[in-house]
Amino acid sequence: MTDLAMHDNFSGLALHPALRWQSEPAHWRIGTGGGGLSIEPDAGTDFWQRTHYGFEVDNGHFLYLNATGDFTLTTQVHFSPRHQYDQAGLMVRLSPSCWLKTSVEFEPDGPSRLGAVVTNGQYSDWSTQPVGDEVTALWFRIRTERSDCIVESSTDGVAWSQLRIAHLSERAAAPFVQCGLYACSPKAAGYKADFAFLDFAPR
C-alpha cells in the first residue's frame, strides 16, 4: 500500500518494491539500454467481460501498486504490434468485475483503435477513436477523483487530449485500488511493448 509518489524508469536491477505482478509474463526485462520495461505478452491474454463478444477473460499481464487516495498515473509506451488487438497501456482495477484500461489496440487491416475499456458489474464497454499505423508511441495518463477516472493521451507528453471520463462502481467501498501498466496479446504471441517509465503521483 502506498500514498507516496513514485517514478520508476526501470533502470535498476529489480522492480520498485511497491510494484507486483498479476499474471507475470514469461518474457519481460528491465534496464536494457539504460532503462525501460519491455514486455512480450503471452498468447491468449486479455481483459474483457461479456459485452457483445460474450467471453470472459481476465488473464492479461498487470504490473501494479496499491493506492488508497486520488492519484495521477502516467506512462509512455512504444509498441510493435503483430496481431489483432495487441495492446499495452495503463490500468486501474478494483476486481475482475470492475476496472478500466487505456491503450492502442492494433488492427492489421485498418486504423488501430485508441481508447478505453471500462468494466462495471462484470460488463465491459469500449470507446475508441482511430489512430494511424504511423503512431508507434504514446503517453497515457489517468487522473482519479474519488470514484471517477479522467483518461488522457498525448503524442509528446506535454499536450493532452481527453479520451474518457468514467465511473468505477466499486471504488467508493474499496479500501484501496490497484493501478499500473498492462499488456495483452489476445490472438497470438509476438507483440512487444516498451514502457519508458511509470509515474505515480498522489493528489
Task: Report the distance separating Cα 166 and Cα 91, nearest Å.
Answer: 13
The per-residue pLDDT for range 120-130, each reduced to its tens digit, is 999 999 999 99
Q: Give the per-residue pLDDT at 54.
A: 78
Q: How many domains does the chain have?
A: 1
CB-hemisphere CA count at 13 Å for 27?
12
- Asked if residue 133 has pLDDT above 90, the reply is no
CATH of the domain at 38: 2.60.120.200
Q: Which of 16-20, 52-56, 148-152, 187-191 has the weakest average pLDDT?
A: 52-56
Q: Is residue 106 part of a domain?
A: yes
Considering the domain boundaries, does residue 104 fall inside one?
yes
Which pLDDT band, with edges at 50, 70 and 90, does 197 fall under? Answer: very high
Residue 56: exposure state from Cβ atoms within 10 A (0-12, 13-18, ≥19): middle
From residue 57, how far is each of 87, 100, 112, 151 by CA, in Å? 15, 14, 21, 23
- Grid coordinates belonging to 72: 495521477
Q: Is residue 1 part of a domain?
A: no
The answer to whether residue 3 scores a pLDDT higher than 80 is: no
State the Cα angle at 99 between 93 and 104, rounded to 5°.
Answer: 105
Question: Residue 173 and residue 52: Cα distance in Å, rounded?
Answer: 28
Which tens digits make up the pLDDT trace of 135-170? 999 999 999 999 999 999 999 999 999 999 999 999
Total Cβ atoms within 10 A of residue 126: 16
Structural domain of 75: 6-202
Q: Is residue 148 in some structural domain?
A: yes
Answer whether residue 169 is part of any domain: yes
Angle at 90 between CA 17 and CA 29, to 5 degrees: 50
Task: Evaluate whether residue 107 is within a structural domain.
Answer: yes
Q: What is the pLDDT of residue 33?
A: 59
Q: Is the pLDDT of residue 4 over 70?
A: yes
